[in-house]
Copies of this chain bind each other. A is one copy, B any other.
Amino acid sequence: MEAVARAKELEAQLERAEQQLQVVQKISRFMVRELSLAEILKGINKAVVDFMGCDSCFIYLIDGEELVLCSSNKSPAAEGKVRLKISEGLTGWVARERRLLSIPRHAFRDSRFKRFSNLAEDNFEAFLSAPIIARGQVVGVMNVQHRAPHQHSGHEMELLTTVTEQIGTLLLLARVDPKAIEAANHVELLFPAPAAT
Would you give the 0/1 interface string for A118-136, flagging 1 where the beta carbon is closer than 8 Å to chain B? 0000000000000001111
**CB of A102 within 8 Å of the partner chain:** no
**CB of A45 within 8 Å of the partner chain:** no
Contact A178 B28 (CB under 8 A): no
Residues of B within 8 A of A80 (CB): 187, 190-191
**CB of A61 within 8 Å of the partner chain:** yes
Contact A62 B3 (CB under 8 A): no
In the complex, A191 Cα to B38 Cα: how many Å? 9
Contacts A29-B165, A172-B181, A181-B134; A139 near B20 (Cβ below 8 A): no
Residue of B nearest to A66 (CB): B187
Contact B178 A135 (CB under 8 A): yes
**CB of A148 within 8 Å of the partner chain:** no
Where chain A touches its partner, the secondary structure class is helix
How many copies of this kind of chain does the complex include? 2
Given contacts A14-B17, A41-B190, 6 further A-B contacts (CB under 8 A): A7-B7, A10-B11, A17-B18, A135-B181, A169-B169, A172-B181
Can you offer 30 A-B residue contacts whose CB atoms are under 8 A? A3-B3, A3-B7, A14-B14, A24-B24, A28-B165, A29-B162, A29-B165, A31-B168, A32-B133, A32-B134, A32-B165, A32-B169, A37-B189, A37-B190, A41-B190, A61-B186, A63-B185, A63-B187, A64-B185, A79-B190, A80-B191, A134-B181, A135-B182, A137-B181, A139-B186, A169-B173, A171-B184, A171-B189, A172-B173, A173-B173
> Which residues of A approach B to under 8 Å, CB–CB?
3-4, 6-7, 10-11, 13-14, 17-18, 20-21, 24-25, 28-29, 31-32, 34, 37-38, 41, 61-64, 68, 70, 79-80, 133-137, 139-140, 158, 162, 165-166, 168-169, 171-178, 180-182, 184-191
